[in-house]
Amino acid sequence: MITDPQATIAAARFDAVVFDMDGVVTQTATVHAAAWKALFDSFLEDRARRTGEPFRPFDLEADYLPYVDGKARYDGVRDFLASRGVTLPWGAPSDPPDADTICGLGNRKNDYFLRIVAEQGVKPFPTTVALIGLLHEADVATAIISASKNTSAILAAAGVAGLFAEQIDGGVAEQLGLPGKPDPAVFVEAARRLGVAPPRAVVVEDAEAGVEAGRRGGFGLVIGVDRSDHAQALKAHGADVVVKDLAEVTVVRR
């Protein structure tokens, strides 16, 4: 495969790279998708029985990317249900998983996700780990972001927790009141903690909301990782370059 000439991180131009976790660093995007489908299919099937409406299951192709991919858990619940014309009370993060609230459903999804992780484990993408090694050799700092509050556990399970100087996850975002993607706040905070201005940093994302956040945050380069055949959508939302795998990205030392 020919590498796009833009898929180059030059240490003379960039001081840091901020990676999204799911689908970029760890092979957990498919686990999230499975957990979302288990949640929504159960909810929609139960709703259909109660209301007499036809049951239309959660579609991994039509629903996952636009409504939940890359978003904070509760935002994903809200946005998908809105797409089906369903409105629920927001509730509170302390709601039990069986509560019919946005937070309750979000907590139920987290239970599904953790169950699958416990059963299957977590693997990193070897090419991503290799790229991070090249960045460190070139003295380019790395940080990781994720909407997940399980970020530390997932990174530890994948054996890659020590690769990042800074981590902005769902728990940190909640503590600081940072809005979720496509708002660039989590990326900007990661760059700030690394001591790097956004124009001197790179964002690596596989979600449409994530590349849009990188563009809106004024980052110097936004690399989209197309693992779901949505390259055009990634470009439309702000990716400067789209690659199938991070093996296509080169690092040029100073």
Inter-residue contact 147 to 21 (CB < 8 Å)? no
The single residue of 15, 22, 69, 206 carrying the catalytic annotation is 22
d(CA 119, CA 35): 13
Contact 158, 123 (CB under 8 A): yes
Q: Determine whether 245 is an active site residue.
A: no
Residues 58, 36: contact at Cβ < 8 Å?
yes
Strands (E), the chain: 8-10, 16-20, 141-145, 166-168, 201-205, 221-225, 241-243, 250-252
CA distance 32 to 71: 11
DSSP 247: G
Task: Evaluate the CA torsion angle 174, 179, 180, 184 in order and state its sign.
Answer: negative
| Residues 3/244, Cβ–Cβ less than 8 Å | no
Listed residue (153, 251, 234) closest to 243, CA to CA: 234
Residue type at 219? F
Catalytic residue flag (residue 63): no
**Tokens encoding 248:** 């296509």
- Nearest-CA neighbor of 122 among 234, 233, 26? 26
- Tell me the two tokens of residue 9: 């991180």
The owner of tokens 């949640």 is: 39
Token output for 188: 């900007």
- Choosing from 4, 15, 20, 63, which is the catalytic residue? 20
Q: What residues are annotated to the active site? A: 20, 22
